Amino acid sequence: MTRTSSEFDNRFVAESTVTRQDLRSPVLRRSLRKPYPVAVRGEGVYIWDADGKRYLDFSGSAAVNFIGHGVREIADAMLEQVRQLEFVHTSQFTTPVTEEFAAELLDFVGEHFRGGAVYFTCGGSESIETALKLARQYQVEIGQPTRYQVLSRSQSYHGSTLGALAVSGNRKRREIYLPMVREFAHVGIPYCYRCDFDCADGCRNCGQQYASELERAIEEAKGEAAAFIFEPMSGATLGAVIPPPGYLESIAEICGRHGVLLIADEVMTGMGRTGRNFAVEHWQVAPDILVTANGLSSGYTPLGAVIVSKKVVDAIATGSGAFLHGFTYNAHPVSVAVGRAVLRRVQSLDLVGAADSSIAGTVGSALKTALESLRDLDVVGDVRGLGLLWGVEFVQDKKSKRPFPPERNFAGRVGQSALRRGLLVYPMQGCVDGVAGDHLLIAPPAVVTAEHIGWGVEQLRVAVAEAVR
């Protein structure tokens, strides 16, 4: 049976499997209207479905996989830990693997976190919830109990649990849950391709104006602002948007001056993805709390981490002495063992160096050059990113930057065409105003080669042409 294109209105659909699958399943899937290919195996940059169809993972699923699929030594590390000790509760024990990996992660994040500590979770949203509560507790511990608000930015994404959703700006993902969440101020987000300030110098001077919005919001919070949370580089919501010069430095300075904790959300950008251990290093910004997940386990197990500066740990250690928070599965030994094995592989293969797009000859730089070549297409308005995290924004009219009508689902169609060709990308909508605006996120594992990149971008070019038709 042949289906119409409107039925293929979602991302990860392969026609081969689609035509044979029952839409109802005992699994409550993300969409009950679309069939999903059945993934059965992964190796290197490839995933195979049950039909034997091979996909080049050009998006690392959702900017998760960094070391490649099917790495034997990660499976070995997992098995060794399960055989030794599968689980203990953090109220009763700590484990050698947790203590060791926390120390290694503190080294990896660098000097600024010396003397700090790490809190392990099962992923991004749990880590964000942890960071928000930690920021609040810090303020109480230092004698600032009136501070509880967490300020954030529009067009951001910090997770799907209610606390994380409250500080997110992703309109579609929030809309129906808004009556259930406690909202604080959202300030504007610099988006240089569509700058709010009508500038003509590539946002060379807009950073200060965006940053001053935060200062106003802090003042309007009248002593109740506890923290500000931000993604150093925008993830899926805007598609790898880079901040203008001076912006993050000003944000950090403003927060420091007002006693507001700075929380960097590096769920997507951390662990080497942007060609630095953490994206904040591109701008020499030192957050008080840094949250990471995806690349931390590269997807081999659910794992997130909240990396906490000494200042914050000391406040609790010398205050009440206990962090009032916990999950049954925080610091799960098997996930932590995976994280440790992943970090060792990242370091032994110098995958952060491989991802660095500013150095000629790296795969990061090959990806940059290949994606930049798409600018010659009539519908490609912008190509932006760093390292192995890139966004390609589509427009109906290049001169006016007019987006496609949302109902055309342009990015989704590109994604479907790419998928039919065996290429996985991450299509998103809403970059212009939360509804309109189409873009793709490209974030392959760092074991991708220049040949894979050449093939992937070639397929993408054809996929775009098919979506235009």
Ligand X SMILES: Cc1ncc(COP(=O)(O)O)c(C=O)c1O
Q: Does 380 bind ligand X (CB under 6 A)?
A: no
How far apart CA 244 and CA 254 sit, in angstroms, is: 16
Is 235 a binder of ligand X (CB under 6 A)? yes
Q: Which of 124, 244, 275, 385 binds ligand X (CB under 6 A)?
A: 124
User: Among residues 117, 268, 334, 371, which is the contact residue for ligand X, using CB under 6 A?
Assistant: 268
Q: What residues between 283 and 302 interact with ligand X by CB under 6 A?
A: 293
Please say which residue, 140 or 150, places its beta carbon nearer to ligand X.
150
Q: If binding is defined by CB under 6 A, does position 233 make contact with ligand X?
A: no
Does 267 interact with ligand X (rule: CB under 6 A)? yes
Of 283 and 404, CB closest to ligand X: 283
Buried-exposed string 236-253: b where 16+ CB fall within 10 A, e elsewhere: bbbbbbbbbebbbbbbbe
Q: Is residue 346 near ligand X by the rule CB under 6 A? A: no
Q: Which of 49, 141, 213, 265 binds ligand X (CB under 6 A)?
A: 265
Is residue 427 near ligand X by the rule CB under 6 A? no
Instruction: List binders of ligand X among 138-167 (CB under 6 A).
Output: 157-160
Asked whether position 456 contacts ligand X by CB under 6 A, the answer is no
Q: Is 229 in the site for ligand X (CB under 6 A)?
A: no
Single out the residue of 57, 129, 213, 231 in contact with ligand X (rule: CB under 6 A): 231
Nearer to ligand X, 62 or 462 (CB): 62
Of 293 and 313, which has the nearer Cβ to ligand X? 293
* Cα torsion through 434, 241, 427, 415, rounded to 10: 140
Minimum separation from the CB atom of position 264 to ligand X (A): 10
Which of 379/441 has CB closer to ligand X?
441
167 or 225: CB nearest ligand X:
167
Rounded to whole angstroms, the Cα distance separating 108 from 122 reads 20
Q: Which is nearer to ligand X, 339 or 422 (CB)?
A: 339
Q: Give the range of 47-55, 76-84, 138-146, 229-237 binding ligand X by CB under 6 A.
A: 229-237
Cα-based distances in Å from 340 to 9, 351, 455: 38, 15, 32
Nearer to ligand X, 279 or 366 (CB): 279
Among 59, 61, 65, 125, binds ligand X (CB under 6 A): 125
- Can you give the binding site for ligand X, defined by CB under 6 A? 62, 123-125, 128, 157-160, 231, 235-236, 265, 267-268, 293
